[in-house]
């Protein structure tokens, strides 16, 4: 018996908390598909507890009746019953494991899929505020904790209650005096057990904290960016030292935990021995005096060993139950999180998009944290205080014809990327409206809007998969010929063909095995497969050298041909290719026109050009 399993939970974490009926009802909703499996699981526990009473009673019958009567046939029959009881107990143990695994794994699957689905629905603002590690913990640790509430915790409590009641009933039926005697030593066992349990809980909390620190260090240092930073700053020895100190502390805590666990087991053995000695000592006198039979004494000694463990388990039952249901509540906290951007009732699909884009008096401020995020998933203190009550875009009106290319320019923080993020509904405008082909995006399904829009950022994301898998993310059923055509259009086909594994080449985490220009061209190839009507280019060439930029520009020209485009750029060469230039300043649209027109006006755009803020 593992002391951590016997004395689980954190009493401090659940102190003063109650299990809400709403949480119980919602937990039952997830458990309901497995209700008959749960009934079978609990029934097998009950039958197993009753069956466990048979061996002591059968031994009593053999000692008190079969042996004195020299009845060998009866001894054979009773021995056969003992074997049958052992086989029945083995079958029930397997049955319990089958039921618990079926219920547990099913719940884990259901909860994880529900959480993953919910997180995928959350707006981008949720991900900008949430700690990824905390979110992943909900999908792993808390899901398993919630599953524990229905299988391990429920099974443990029911088993302990049934074993205790049936065993005490059998003992009282056999000999009430010895039963009361066996209960006298319980405080000697339970009080030290709770104290050792408290020590183990304190140790476990510290151990979990240190393990979390080690996991954080490994997660941040074992990705490409972290490893590169460590090497460039020559911090290898310091990193090893920090990790060694944490690992050393975990080692020391592990030794203490093992020692306390051993002390507990020794104490358990001693109390059990004292209880058995008391039963045998007093019971033997009763046998000599003729008060009970020798078989009754042996049966009582066997039963007394069965009452200490469930009683100890039940002293911690509240902590077990509360701890398990805290996990359920943490899961529900994510499932209940507000989804601020949803399809409106009756939303329709955008079909055969032409690419006409219009912004009508668009005003935007970033949403308050409580409306898009969960406080417990953010860094401590992030949600405290009031969110900035500032409009980052104000009364923006712009009409873009199908196939037209618009360049967005302005100093850093002017609102260019924010404006671009409103079009595919990564955020919703606070006021005003955005229309595609004359239809408000809020009246269209998000999927159809996002299918009509393609985005290339300055740092495109590639999954840790093959080149082909990354390209087919845009079109899973794309043929090899379609992949080739897209790669040729993006000026990346020859580079891929020269690789030993071609399209099967693994790109590495975030595409780190590819150069910046190659990543950009792969992202463009992926968009060519998607074939959107509207393209948004957010500083797509700002981090590239001249050679890579030239290749990407050729790819972009192919990608933009016949499509509406919104281009955010700081390079004058890119801006001048646009049909119109829109200048933003502090969230306002301040100028609009061609390069020549804006230079003649000698306004903000001309000043930026003369100051060299728009590079060549």
Q: Give the up-direction half-sphere exposure of residue 46: CA atoms within 13 A in the CB hemisphere.
A: 6
Give percent of the chain with pLDDT exceeding 70. 81
At residue 444, what are phi and psi to the nearest 5 degrees?
-110, 155
What's residue 436's pLDDT? 92
Question: What average pLDDT does range 121-145 have in this prediction?
Answer: 77
Q: How does strand 357-364 pair with strand 431-436?
A: antiparallel
Rounded to an integer, what distance in angstroms lies between the CA atom of residue 602 and that of residue 600? 5
Question: What average pLDDT does range 105-127 have in this prediction?
Answer: 84
What's residue 148's pLDDT? 73
Mind listing the pLDDT tens digit for each residue in 482-508?
A: 888 888 888 888 888 888 888 888 887
The model's confidence at residue 6, banded by pLDDT at 50, 70 and 90, is very low
Where are the strands (E) in 330-487, listed by range? Answer: 357-364, 393-400, 405-409, 431-436, 439-440, 453-457
Rounded to an integer, what distance in angstroms lies between the CA atom of residue 128 and that of residue 126? 6
Rounded to an integer, what distance in angstroms lies between the CA atom of residue 275 and that of residue 386? 63
Q: Taking 60 as the threshold, does the pLDDT of residue 75 lie above it?
A: yes
What's residue 324's pLDDT? 67
Q: Full-prediction pTM beyond 0.85?
A: no
Question: What average pLDDT does range 157-181 have in this prediction?
Answer: 85
What's residue 91's pLDDT? 93
Q: Taking 90 as the threshold, does the pLDDT of residue 399 lie above it?
A: yes
DSSP string, 486-540: HHHHTT-HHHHHTSTTGGG-B--GGGTTS-HHHHHHHHHHHHHHH--SEEEEEST
Q: Taking 60 as the threshold, does the pLDDT of residue 530 lie above it?
A: yes
* Burial of residue 519 (number of CB atoms within 10 Å: 0-12, 13-18, 19+): buried
What's residue 7's pLDDT? 37
Mind listing the pLDDT tens digit for each residue in 537-585?
A: 887 666 556 666 676 777 777 777 888 989 887 777 778 888 899 999 8
DSSP string, 159-186: HHHHHHHHHHHHHHHH-HHHHHHHHHTH
Q: Helix or strand or coil: residue 360?
A: strand
Q: Taking 60 as the threshold, does the pLDDT of residue 381 lie above it?
A: no
Q: Taking 90 as the threshold, does the pLDDT of residue 337 lie above it?
A: no
Q: Taking 70 as the threshold, does the pLDDT of residue 315 lie above it?
A: no
Q: Helix or strand or coil: residue 543?
A: coil
Of the given ranges (234-243, 452-461, 534-543), which has the lowest mean pLDDT? 534-543
All domains in the chain, ordered by first residue: 3-335 (1.20.1560.10), 401-426+443-610 (3.40.50.300)
Of the given ranges (86-95, 231-240, 532-541, 586-595), which has the lowest mean pLDDT? 231-240
381 sits in the region (left: phi over 0; alpha: psi -120 to 50; else beta) called left
Q: Give the up-direction half-sphere exposure of residue 196: CA atoms within 13 A in the CB hemisphere.
A: 26
What's residue 4's pLDDT? 39
Crossing angle of helices 54-61 and 72-121, rounded to 10°: 180
For residues 495 and 322, the model is more confident at: 495
Q: Helix or strand or coil: residue 466?
A: strand
Q: Helix or strand or coil: residue 1?
A: coil
Question: What average pLDDT does range 134-142 have in this prediction?
Answer: 75
Of the given ranges (106-120, 253-267, 382-396, 417-431), which has the lowest mean pLDDT? 382-396
Average pLDDT, the chain: 79
What's residue 198's pLDDT? 65
The model's confidence at residue 614, banded by pLDDT at 50, 70 and 90, is low
What's residue 228's pLDDT? 66
Q: Which strand (E) or helix (H) includes residue 267?
A: helix 236-288
Neighbours of 184 (CB within 10 A): 10
For residues 220 and 287, the model is more confident at: 287
Dihedral in degrees, nearest 10, Cα atoms 518, 522, 528, 534: -80
Question: What average pLDDT does range 233-245 have in this prediction?
Answer: 81
Residue/partner pairs of 110-115 with CB below 8 Å, 24 or more apart: 110/30, 110/33, 111/30, 111/143, 111/146, 111/147, 111/331, 112/139, 112/143, 114/335, 115/139, 115/143, 115/331, 115/334, 115/335
What's residue 434's pLDDT? 92
What's residue 395's pLDDT? 92
Question: What average pLDDT does range 360-368 have in this prediction?
Answer: 88
Rounded to an integer, what distance in angstroms lies between the CA atom of residue 601 and that of residue 596? 9
Question: What average pLDDT does range 153-165 have in this prediction?
Answer: 82
Rank 62-76, 196-210, 509-523, 576-590 by mean pLDDT and report only the highest. Answer: 576-590
Question: What average pLDDT does range 265-285 have in this prediction?
Answer: 75
Question: What average pLDDT does range 88-95 have in this prediction?
Answer: 91
Q: Taking 90 as the threshold, does the pLDDT of residue 435 lie above it?
A: yes
Q: Are 279 and 304 in contact (CB under 8 A)?
A: yes
Q: Helix or strand or coil: residue 399?
A: strand
What's residue 385's pLDDT? 43
Q: Give the up-direction half-sphere exposure of residue 331: CA atoms within 13 A in the CB hemisphere.
A: 31
Mind listing the pLDDT tens digit for each residue in 42-67?
A: 899 889 888 888 888 888 888 888 88
Q: Which strand (E) or helix (H) includes residue 114?
A: helix 72-121
Q: Taking 90 as the threshold, does the pLDDT of residue 172 lie above it?
A: no
Rounded to an integer, what distance in angstroms lies between the CA atom of residue 320 and that of residue 518? 54
Rg (alpha carbons) of the chain, rounded to whole number? 35
């Amino acid at each position: 018996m593992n002391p951590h399993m016997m004395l689980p939970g954190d009493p401090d974490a659940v102190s003063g908390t109650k299990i809400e009926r709403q949480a119980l009802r919602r937990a039952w909703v997830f458990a309901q598909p497995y209700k008959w499996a749960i009934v079978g699981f609990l029934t097998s526990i009950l039958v197993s507890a009753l069956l466990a009473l048979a061996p002591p009673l059968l031994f009593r019958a053999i000692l008190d009746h079969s042996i004195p009567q020299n009845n060998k046939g009866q001894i054979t029959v009773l021995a056969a019953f003992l074997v049958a009881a052992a086989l029945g107990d083995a079958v029930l143990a397997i049955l319990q494991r089958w039921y618990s695994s079926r219920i547990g794994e099913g719940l884990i699957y259901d909860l994880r899929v529900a959480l993953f689905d919910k997180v995928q629905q959350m707006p981008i603002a949720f991900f900008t505020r949430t700690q990824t590690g905390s979110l992943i913990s909900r999908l792993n640790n808390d899901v398993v904790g919630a599953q524990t509430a229905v299988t391990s915790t429920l099974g443990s409590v029911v088993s302990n209650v049934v074993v205790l009641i049936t065993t005490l009933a059998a003992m009282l039926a056999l000999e009430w005096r010895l039963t009361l005697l066996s209960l006298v030593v319980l405080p000697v066992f339970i009080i030290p057990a709770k104290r050792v349990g408290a020590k183990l809980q304190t140790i476990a909390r510290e151990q979990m904290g240190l393990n979390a620190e080690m996991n954080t260090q490994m997660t941040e240092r074992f990705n490409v960016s972290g490893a590169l930073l460590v090497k460039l700053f020559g911090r290898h020895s310091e990193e090893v030292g920090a990790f060694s100190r944490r690992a050393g502390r975990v080692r020391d805590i592990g030794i203490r935990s093992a020692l306390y666990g051993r002390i507990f087991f020794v104490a358990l053995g001693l109390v059990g021995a004292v209880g058995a000695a008391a039963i045998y000592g007093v019971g033997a006198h009763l046998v000599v005096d003729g008060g009970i039979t020798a078989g009754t004494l042996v049966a009582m000694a066997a039963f007394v060993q069965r009452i200490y463990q469930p009683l100890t388990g039940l002293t911690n039952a509240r902590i077990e139950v509360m701890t398990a249901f805290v996990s359920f509540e943490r899961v529900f906290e994510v499932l209940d999180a507000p989804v601020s951007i949803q399809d409106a009732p009756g939303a329709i699909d955008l079909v055969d998009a032409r690419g006409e884009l219009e912004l009508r008096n668009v005003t935007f401020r970033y949403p308050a944290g409580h409306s898009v995020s969960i406080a417990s998933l953010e860094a401590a203190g992030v949600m405290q205080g009031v969110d900035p009550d500032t409009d980052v875009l104000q009364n923006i009106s712009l009409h873009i014809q199908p196939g037209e290319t618009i360049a967005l320019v302005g100093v850093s923080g002017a609102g260019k990327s924010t404006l671009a993020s409103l079009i595919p509904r990564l955020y919703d405008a606070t006021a005003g409206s955005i229309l595609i082909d004359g239809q408000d995006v809020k009246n269209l399904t998000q999927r159809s809007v996002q299918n009509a829009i393609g985005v290339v950022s300055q740092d495109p994301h590639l999954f840790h998969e093959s080149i082909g898998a990354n390209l087919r993310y845009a079109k899973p059923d794309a043929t090899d010929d379609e992949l080739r055509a897209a790669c040729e259009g993006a000026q990346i086909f020859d580079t891929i063909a020269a690789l030993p594994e071609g399209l099967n080449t693994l790109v590495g985490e975030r595409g780190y095995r590819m150069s910046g220009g190659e990543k950009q061209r792969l992202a463009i190839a992926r968009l060519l497969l998607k074939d959107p009507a509207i393209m948004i280019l957010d500083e797509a060439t700002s981090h590239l050298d001249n050679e890579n930029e030239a290749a990407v520009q050729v790819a972009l020209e192919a990608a933009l041909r016949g499509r509406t485009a919104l281009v955010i750029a700081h390079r004058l060469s890119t801006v001048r290719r646009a049909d119109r230039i829109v200048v933003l300043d502090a969230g306002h649209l301040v100028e609009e026109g061609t390069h020549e027109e804006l230079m003649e006006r000698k306004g903000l755009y001309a000043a930026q050009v003369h100051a060299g803020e728009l590079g060549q």
